[in-house]
Amino acid sequence: MEHTALTQAMARVPGPVTVVTTIDGTGKRWGFTANSFTSVSLDPPLVLVCLNKTASTHEAFTAADHFLINVLAHGEDGVARRFAQSGIDRFAAGDMEPCELGLPGSPGACVRVACSMHSVVDAGDHSILVGRVVDTCTNDRTPLVYYNRAFAHPATAADAGTVEPVKILHLADW
C-alpha cells in the first residue's frame, strides 16, 4: 500500500481533535495534539490515543503513570496547532490549568478524560497509549473535528437553520 493513498483516504475520515498532557517525575509538563482517540472498553473502562515514535514527547508519555486527554471544543484550533508544533513551549500561552489528577487541561475542552496508563502497545511507527479511565469532565460545547486536513465542527440543527424531516426509505420503497 502506498503511504500517500492511505494518508489521502484517512484525511477523509473525520476525527476528534485532542491535546494529550502529562507531567513527568521532575514536574515538567508535556503535551501533544492527536486525532487518533477512541473508546476501547467499558469494563474495564479503557480508551486509546496514538503517538508517533519520533515525537519529542514519546519518551515522557510511554513512561507516564497518568495522562489527560482534552477533546478540544470548536474554536480551540489555535491550541491544537500549538501542541502540534515542535521546538516551542506549548504551555507558554497560559491557557492550560491544573484539572483532573492535577494534570494540565483546557478549561474550555468539551470533554476531558483522565487516565492511568494501562499499557503501551507497539504499532509500527506509532505507540498506542491505552489508558484506564479514572475521571471525566464534560460540558455542552461543540467538539472540534479534523476532516480533509482542516479543522471543522459537526453540523448541528442550529447550523442548518430549520431542519427538514428525514424521509426513511425502506426496501419496499425501491
* Across 25-39, 45-59, 101-115, 144-158, least confident range: 144-158
| Among the ranges given (37-41, 67-71, 85-89, 144-148), the one the predictor scored with the smallest mean pLDDT | 144-148
pLDDT one-digit tens code per residue, 112-144: 999 999 999 999 999 999 999 999 999 999 999
Q: What is the pTM of this model?
A: 0.84
Q: Please, are residues 100 and 135 in contact by the beta-carbon 8 Å criterion?
A: yes
CATH number of 3-173: 2.30.110.10
d(CA 122, CA 107) in angstroms, rounded, equals: 32
Higher pLDDT, 7 or 106: 106
pLDDT in tens, 145-167: 887 777 777 776 555 554 444 43
Higher-scoring residue by pLDDT: 3, 63: 63
The amino acid occupying position 82 is: R
CA proximity to 129, closest of 7, 46, 41: 46
Which has the higher per-residue pLDDT, 136 or 174?
136
Report which of residues 2 and 93 the model is more confident about.
93
Taking a C-beta distance cutoff of 8 angstroms, is the pair 31, 57 a contact?
yes
Domain ranges of the chain: 3-173
DSSP sequence for the chain:
--HHHHHHHHHTS-EE-EEEEEE-TTS-EEEEEES-EEEEEETTEEEEEEEETTSTTHHHHHT-SEEEEEEPBTT-HHHHHHHH-SSS-TTTT---EE-GGG-EE-TT-SEEEEEEEEEEEEETTEEEEEEEEEEEEE-SPPBPEEETTEEE----HHHHSSPPPPPPP-GGG-
Which range is least confidently modeled, 41-55, 62-76, 87-101, 137-151?
Answer: 137-151
